[in-house]
Chains A and B, each alone.
Chain A
Amino acid sequence: MVAIKQISIFMENKPGRLVRAAKTLSDANVNIRALTIAEAGDFGVVRMVVDDTEKGYRVLRDAGFTVSETDVLAVEIKDTPGGLYEIADTLGENNVNMDYAYAFVTAKAERAMLILRVDDIKRATQVLTAAGVRMATRAEIQKI
């Protein structure tokens, strides 16, 4: 299974909240690979992919945050024009809906990585694999 775990944190939209979460992870020596914040007025959801998900989840939970784990895909995209188009097109053609996505570039930077939450993760994996798209495994994300 190529799905990886993403950590989501419920957060009130107030100064200092994100700092506390970041500090909690930093103190536990957990490294954030990618992060995005979705905000909806008074509150927001912080989503992140970290090197050690289990540890990250545990320390955040112990620190009193409301956290959940979600299965997402880490899809490699060519860092050239049309990279995202190819992926979106493959999923669209096959009727898989994207709930949200966010991208990051790895240190080695030959490729960009797209974190993708879809409504049907199994089907998305199949169609992307068939289209020759590579997806990073958990071990790979840890090693980046």
Chain B
Amino acid sequence: MPVEDLHKLQEDRLRSLVRFVYAHSAFYRQRFKEAGVAPDDIKELSDVTKLPFTTKLDLRDTYPTGMFCLPQNWVVRYHVSSGTTGKPTVVGYTQGDIEMWSESLARALTSVGLGRGDVMQVGYGYGLFTGGLGLHYGSERIGATVLPLGAGNTKRHIELMQDLGSTAIACTPSYFLYINEVAQEMGLSIRDDTKLKVGIFGAEPWSDETRKRIEDSTGIKAYDVYGTSEMSGPLCTECHRQDGIHIWADLFLIEVIDSKTGEQVEDGERGELVVTTLDKWAFPLVRYRMRDITILNSEPCECGRAHPRIMRILGRTDDMIVVRGINVFPSQVESVLMTIPEVGEHYQIIVDRKGPLDIMTVKVEVTEATFSDKIADLMSLSKRVSGELKDVLNLTAGVELVEPGTIPRSMGKAQHVIDKRKV
């Protein structure tokens, strides 16, 4: 679809959405009133900035379903987020909302070359978490065969991957690295002993360097997937170009803003993602602040799709840690570590305070392949890691070499930061 037509469609849908939420929700009527805006004020796409933002805090305040715009008898399913940052978040779907979710992901999976004949092994958790069921429905929609394994039971994953010839897997990148590790222990190579060719990885921030490590060691193509439970669940991925995640413009209106001022930033500038849903009704979003840091790219993609792209999620506004006044994203640390082959893929950042001073320590595992019997070699490895971290972060971090397998592995979201500071 040409960009102009897409924008026209977005404009129509935005107007409908605004009228809909205003008519159906006391929460939105109140918010619009406070912001001094009425549905009729929204005439064109750029008027979206007149609308008030909504946040996770609003969701918490209206727990469980105060931001829903349709009564429960329209809702065919609930999902509930784990609430790692506070109270759990409840989201609800009409039959149509589930269809939209599946459709969005189906388009995404098609854009990486998956379709009928593929076997998709779902390694995201099923149940209240949206990952498992999202990928499940999306994959069925494209005619692929779904293997609903869920998270955990890693040996089973590997056996069935071999026996049923899985061609694709969806899970967190850290879990896939773990699967690869276990496969190696079992004497198997994902590259040579399985048919796996595509990985759909997300639900935690990861880096291009991790992608490279995954692709080099297993021979698969690794794609980033994005979507939060508030938006439905996993929804959009990179296309085969691996150059940003296409956000379907007929389904979502996205903005990237400066977190402090709330103003939209230019294409290519880093900022916080803000989402308005254009075809989601039980629980629509109006200018919802995702707290994910990204960069918007509205240029047409080489794949031919006109839908705008967001660059890899660079971190969350609440993932960011401030150490000695310097902003640090775990993804930056990860990028550095992935370029040093002597250390393993798993890491943990520990922040503590000694007196007035913040101390950051990065724990990395010594890999057996490179373990040297000489203390001097190990010392120089830890010095090298520390030096490269300093170059990127502008911050001196201690490096602790630990034994392989001692950093906790996760089946879901990896906990990369342990902040021991008492605030």
Q: Which A residues have a C-beta under 8 Å from some C-beta of B?
A: 6, 8, 10-12, 17, 38, 40, 42-45, 47, 61, 64-68, 70, 99, 117
Contacts and interface: CB of A to CB of B under 8 A. Distances in A.
B366 A66 contact: yes
A122 to B, nearest CB: 18
Contacts, number: 50
A40 B373 contact: no
The A interface is mostly helix, strand or loop, or mixed, namely strand
Interface in B404-420: 404-406
Given A8-B373, A10-B371, A45-B373, A66 B403 contact: yes
Contacts of B400: 42-43
A63 to B, nearest CB: 10
A12 B375 CA distance: 13
Interface residues of B, number: 17
B326 interface: no
A8 B374 CA distance: 9
B347 to A, nearest CB: 15
Contacts of B372: 68
Given A17-B403, A67-B371, 18 more contacts: A8-B371, A8-B373, A10-B366, A10-B378, A10-B403, A38-B375, A40-B378, A40-B379, A43-B400, A64-B405, A65-B403, A66-B366, A66-B371, A66-B403, A66-B404, A68-B368, A68-B371, A68-B373
B401 interface: yes
Contact of A12 (B373, B379, B403): B403
B38 interface: no
B368 A12 contact: no
B402 interface: yes
A9 to B, nearest CB: 9
Return the 5 tightest CB-CB contacts between A and B, nearest first.
Answer: A8-B373, A70-B373, A66-B371, A42-B400, A40-B375
A45 B378 CA distance: 10
A43 B371 contact: no
A65 B372 CA distance: 13
Contacts of A6: 373
Contacts of B366: 10, 66
Interface string B352-377: 00000000000000111001111100
A103 B90 CA distance: 67
